[in-house]
Structure 1
Amino acid sequence: MVSSAAQTIARPEPATHRLTVLIALADAGRAEQLADALAASDDLAPALAGSGVGQMADVAIADEAGLESRVVSSATPIVLLSRRAASQRVADNVLAVLPAFADGLLIAAAARLAASGYRVGKAPPLEIAHGDFHDDELAREETPDDNQARPALSPREAEVLALLAEGAPNKVIARRLNISVHTAKFHVAAILIKLGAANRTDAIAIAMRQGLVLV
């Protein structure tokens, strides 16, 4: 006689929905590099332009050449990697503008926000385009308008912001919140984008002026 325990069939865990990210860049090497970086994430499924994804993409990452080629549907939210000034006129479905050589983690954060309908109206300066978002000085003319409407922070992002205000580095944030350092970096990137901040120090200053943190 087979026991009831032996009769139990293990059911696979439900798969997490992965966002299909269409990458349409003129530089094929850069496109492949970015695809590899995004593929390391559990929730992003990158595909290069010409792969047939097109209309099926949840969000697209494109440069000016990618936009002009019209491989991206006009209904698809776009993260634009631009070499031009942040004040340029862009299509209505361009929800975020980042520097052309922005870090993959920052691009991934922008892609998630754009896929959720968040609009980031101004390109972050190049100071946050590299690695761990160092606290470089930001020219005053690049300072974002604190009166501009910002997307609301998630509860987890609010926790991360509070720790940022305490001066906690990513490793401490990860340990305090019991998350990975990679996840901590993603939350920091998302906070910078949502607040329109240039770096961690700038994010804290903006958050204080908006009453998001008290220190």
Structure 2
Amino acid sequence: MTQVLVAANSAVARAGLSALLSEAGLEVVGSVGLRDLAGQLAGLHPDVLLLFVESREEPGALVGEWLSEGASLLSTPIVMLTEDPSPSGVAEALRLGVRGVLPTRAIASEIVAAVTAAAAGLVPLHPDTLETLLPALPVNDPILPPAPLDAALTPRESEVLTMLAEGLSNKAIAQRLHLSEHTVKFHISSLFAKLQVSSRTEAVTLGARRGLILL
């Protein structure tokens, strides 16, 4: 049975979360305020720490404060319940080792699922938390696989790729090159294999990036 330590400054929050976990079949080994957390954690060794963070406290700053004091909290998986955190606060908490972050409006089944997942070594994130994090995440161009060294296109394949970039259908390409549609499909399959792509859009994008065609 998963053993959980509940920590919150609010006695009401501690009681509610403890009852919720017990009803779900989890073992609540303790219920403590944040000031007493480090000592209780060292003595109880729970599988998961369920931490309720009040609105005036930033999760990242809270964890950073514990670390600066030398507390060994992060040896235990932590699931945080926090109200309207800033993107930077959530990102910092996760960077410092918190396993999961949920909003305080999460329903009972979501909280139980997150605790169970954290105990199993997973990183449970609520959809609302992911939405909060999006503004803090860097935006990178998609990474396309590099073409192998022996993937030089034949002159005919280069012609077909250029026509794909023009948006021509297989039939239109066949008419322009005086080929059968079957032959055009063969050339498309071949250049897809050489470029390691699975769609016309990917082929055109990678071809342009590698200077195989001009857009």
Task: Tell me the TM-score range normalised by the shorter chain.
Answer: 0.3 to 0.5
Calculate the TM-score normalised by the size of structure 2: 0.43
TM-score calculated relative to the size of structure 1: 0.43
Q: Which has the larger radius of gyration?
A: 2
